[in-house]
Amino acid sequence: MGLKSKDLLGMKQLTAEEIMEILDTAKTMKLVISSGNKKTSHLQGKSVVTLFYENSTRTRLSFELASKYMGSASANITTSGSSVNKGESLLDTARTIDMMGTDIIIMRHSQSGAPHFIAPHLKASVVNAGDGMDEHPTQALLDMLTMYERFDTFEGKNIAICGDIYHSRVVRSNAIGLSKLGAKVSVYGPRTMMPVGIEKMGIRVASSVADCIKDADAVMGLRVQLERQQKSLFPSVAEYAHFYAITPEMLELAKPDAFLMHPGPCNHGVELPTAVYDCDQSVINEQVTNGVAVRMAVLYLLMARRNNL
Amino acid sequence: MKTLLKNCKVFGKPDADKIYIEDDKFAAPFDEKNADKIIDLKGATVVPGLVDMHCHLREPGGEYKETIATGTASAAKGGYTSICPMPNTNPVADNAAVISGIIKKAKEAGNCRVYPIGAATKGIDGEQISEMGLMKEAGIVAVSDDGHPIKNAGIMRKVMEYSSDFDLPVLNHCEDKSLSEGAMNEGDISTEIGIRGIPTASEDIMISRDIILSEYLDIPVHICHVSTKGGVRMIREAKARGVKVTCETCPHYFTLTDKYCENYDTNFKMHPPLRTEEHRLAIIEGLKDGTIDVIATDNAPHHQDEKDCEFAVALNGILGFETAFALGYTYLVKTGEITLDRLIDLMCYAPSKILSLGRGSLEEGEDADLAAFDLDNEFTFDKESMLSKSRNTPYDGWKLYGETVLTIMGGKTTYEKLQ
């Protein structure tokens, strides 16, 4: 039991078996969350630090609650800016946290590859909570848990993802993880937000929102950062909502029992009309609960590996 | 002072096995017993001292990365006897005083002939042409805003016109910065690892502009470090039309691809970025058919702190002097892509000709500049053996042929590794 690697850097580094082990463990953890007494001793006597160089509400809070539900000592560092303009290098900061006896460092950073860079230098396990445009593995795992609760298997399932594909680490992690389990991922978004060569990742690039969603088993909307408008990636919110939003009509093209996901935070009326956000098919609120469960599972399995060594 | 090199092969002279040097010149044969110094080269091959028309020595201003003394020692270890440092120092080499300072320090170090390249515009900011004439009097051999491409076509035109009054070639780093805010080549690898990409179009657009200006004005232009298939194709076509365009590439563009960036190793980060296999093969084609005139190093020392960090934050560039010849020999000559003659043309005669340096002769009476390489035995390149102050090489541990055993500049030994 436990993960093969010291760190969880991305879905790239996980095998299909490890992903399933995390999902199965998370199902158990969900029982802890729904019980009246949210307390286990899996991380008793251990310490977990969240080191966030970017803003976050749900990811940071869910990691923090996950570690507290399992009895660890936890601390949070929130900082902004890159290592360069902050004065202390990322590696020095990480080593400092490491040397305080930290078992697991959960890091979010604006630079792709930042956790890959520090991990080999540290005794602590590093969990990637989002690195630039690279990966956000625990988001993909919670999305997959949400699907797993509804699917008997991932094999052959169609997953549609619409929105800003270029900047999305959520897409990359989901595409890698879902492909490993045999699901088929289709993506669509404005061409200005479609990265070159993404089809090489085993993803189908759809020709429209309708084409992307047609016959999907699950549909995922992505947050569009409104400031991208200033960089000429789309002309206006109104135009984006008109051509690229997941409307109720579009959702009808999916399979009858398909469900709708969104990693949040959502721009209501931009990528999703509020009516869609709140519709019966929406599982967006459940994703949040699953976020805590999956992070408990990840912390538990990383710690199990540390205890076994 | 008479020096005899014996037991060697001599490039271009199949019958010779000795080199005679008297003071700073190649000399007529003399009797071995009259030699003051005899060096046994044990079968190594002597070639004219190499010429690098594109490098960075970092001094003044970046002495923590490299100094003129350490940079030229590193060049000598690579078999170079003449090198041309780019002007992006601090202060910028855009005036005669800075140029004179560089030349003075290089003479004191005595490791290489240093022919500085002056800034094309003041402060390399692409707005006002520099004092090229005065810099030429101080010793520059070309002008360039390397690293800071001249984006305004009108200024580029004036730089080309004005520099032609002084017979100073213009060397341009071709990159349309509005297309290249990324940190590596744009493609499936950059997409997969989430690093912003630099499209080949960024380079190709500016190469096309410079070719058009050169053709229109009938003034030569030299394109720095070509890395793209499109660039090679356009330069090939332009040359066929008679446009006075020349170009260079660097060893990393024919030995490496963007695949090496997969693990965020910053020693594979440079401008232009490593491209895909398709482009790497096109560079080799360009080297074979003569489209590419020169192999330069773009030797770019950086301190460990500037490379040991997040990929997008790391500075661009890698060391090149100490691996260039061995990479060219191993990956172009040993593989049968080009001959040794062609490699020496790319790394000595052609850059000397483009910059009118008058280098590259092993004939009696000429300056005794030479390098001797062991072409027969494989060696493992070890970054800890480097003479540079920096260690930012992607080639640590590579097995190569063509280790330098001796470099002589003006009759003086500047590097020697003989057991």
The answer to whether A200 and A185 are in contact (CB under 8 A) is: no
Does one domain contain both A296 and A206?
Answer: no
**Domain CATH code at residue A270:** 3.40.50.1370
Does one domain contain both A296 and A237?
Answer: no
C-alpha distance from A196 to closest chain B C-alpha (Å)? 5
Q: Which residues of B99-111 are buried (b: 16+ CB within 10 A; e: fewer)?
A: bebbbebbeebeb
Catalytic residue among B146, B210, B298, B345: B298
Helix ranges, B78-131 (H): 96-109
Residues in chain B: 419
ipTM of the complex: 0.90
Mean pLDDT of chain B: 97
Report the predicted TM-score, pTM, of the whole model to 2 decimal places. 0.94
Does one domain contain both A159 and A273?
Answer: yes
Q: Which strands sit side by side in the sheet containing B412-416, from one edge to the other?
A: B9-10, B45-48, B370-380, B399-409, B412-416
B205 and A CB contact within 8 Å: no
The answer to whether A215 and A251 are in contact (CB under 8 A) is: no
Query: Is residue A145, in this structure, part of any structural domain at all?
Result: no
Confidence of residue A1 (pLDDT cuts 50, 70, 90): low
Query: Is residue A251, in this structure, part of any structural domain at all?
Result: yes
Does one domain contain both A265 and A159?
Answer: yes
Please tell me the predicted confidence (pLDDT) of residue B219.
98
The answer to whether B245 and B220 are in contact (CB under 8 A) is: yes
Does one domain contain both A16 and A130?
Answer: yes
**Tokens 């995922």, residue located:** A220
Please tell me the predicted confidence (pLDDT) of residue B109.
98
Task: Give B24-61 pLDDT, tens digit per residue.
Answer: 999 999 999 999 999 999 999 999 999 999 999 999 99
Q: Is the pLDDT of residue B377 over 50?
A: yes
Does one domain contain both A102 and A197?
Answer: no
Pairing mode of beta strands A184-188, A204-205: parallel
- B308 and A91 within 8 Å at the Cβ level: the answer is yes
- How is residue B164 written in tokens? 């032609």
**Tokens 């990840």, residue located:** A298
Of residues A89, A90, A112, nearest to B193 (C-beta): A112
B118-to-B105, B136, B294, B350 alpha-carbon distances in Å = 16, 8, 20, 20
- Domain carrying residue A167: 151-282
Query: Is residue A3, in this structure, part of any structural domain at all?
Result: no
Confidence of residue A227 (pLDDT cuts 50, 70, 90): confident
- A112 and B191 within 8 Å at the Cβ level: the answer is no
At a CB cut-off of 8 Å and minimum separation 6, what does A184 contact? A156, A157, A158, A159, A178, A204
Query: Is residue A210, in this structure, part of any structural domain at all?
Result: yes
Q: How many Å apart are CA B419 and CA B410, to the nearest integer?
A: 23
Q: Is the pLDDT of residue A274 over 60?
A: yes
Sign of the four-CA dihedral A231, A232, A237, A241: negative
- Per cent of chain B over pLDDT 90 is 99
C-alpha distance from B305 to closest chain A C-alpha (Å)? 9
Q: In this structure, how many other beta carbons lie within 10 angstroms of the beta carbon of residue A210? A: 13
Task: Give A284-298 pLDDT, tens digit per residue.
Answer: 999 999 999 999 999
Please tell me the predicted confidence (pLDDT) of residue A229.
76
Q: How many Å apart are CA A34 and CA A38, to the nearest integer?
A: 8
What single-letter DSSP state applies at residue B274? Answer: P
Environment class of B201 (CB within 10 Å of its CB; exposed 0-12, middle 13-18, buried 19+): middle
Query: Is residue A4, in this structure, part of any structural domain at all?
Result: no
Task: Give A79-130 pLDDT, tens digit per residue.
Answer: 865 444 557 889 999 999 999 999 999 999 999 999 999 999 999 999 999 9
Domains of chain B, by residue range, sit at 48-362
Q: What domain count does chain A have? A: 2
Helix ranges, A149-207 (H): 169-180
Q: How many Å apart are CA B237 and CA B45, to the nearest integer?
A: 36
Does one domain contain both A249 and A211?
Answer: yes
Give the type of residue at B343. Answer: L
Task: Give B202-228 pLDDT, tens digit per residue.
Answer: 999 999 999 999 999 999 999 999 999
B396 is catalytic: no
Does one domain contain both A123 and A208?
Answer: no
Query: Is residue A119, in this structure, part of any structural domain at all?
Result: yes
Cβ-based contacts under 8 A for chains A and B: 77
Which residues in chain A touch residue B265, judged by CB atoms under 8 angstroms apart? none
Which residues in chain A touch residue B194, judged by CB atoms under 8 angstroms apart? 112-113, 131-135, 169, 172
Query: Is residue A272, in this structure, part of any structural domain at all?
Result: yes
B365 by DSSP, 3-state: which?
A: coil
Residues in chain A: 309
Please tell me the predicted confidence (pLDDT) of residue A187.
98
Task: Give B291-318 pLDDT, tens digit per residue.
Answer: 999 999 999 999 999 999 999 999 999 9
What single-letter DSSP state applies at residue B168? Answer: P
C-alpha distance from B311 to closest chain A C-alpha (Å)? 7
Does one domain contain both A67 and A166?
Answer: no
The answer to whether A142 and A291 are in contact (CB under 8 A) is: yes
Query: What are the E-state strand segments in B224-319?
Result: 245-249, 294-295
Please tell me the predicted confidence (pLDDT) of residue A86.
59
- A197 and B310 within 8 Å at the Cβ level: the answer is no
Instruction: Report chain A residues touching chain B, CB-CB < 8 A.
Output: 82-84, 89-91, 109, 111-114, 116-117, 131-135, 169, 172, 195-198, 200-201
The CATH class that applies to domain B48-362 reads: alpha beta
Please tell me the predicted confidence (pLDDT) of residue A226.
81
Helix ranges, A119-226 (H): 137-148, 169-180, 209-213
Mean pLDDT, to the nearest integer, of A228-248? 90
Does one domain contain both A233 and A298?
Answer: no
Q: Which residues of A277-305 are buried (b: 16+ CB within 10 A; e: fewer)?
A: beeebbbbebbbbbbbbbbbbbbbbbbee
A81 to chain B: closest CA residue: B313
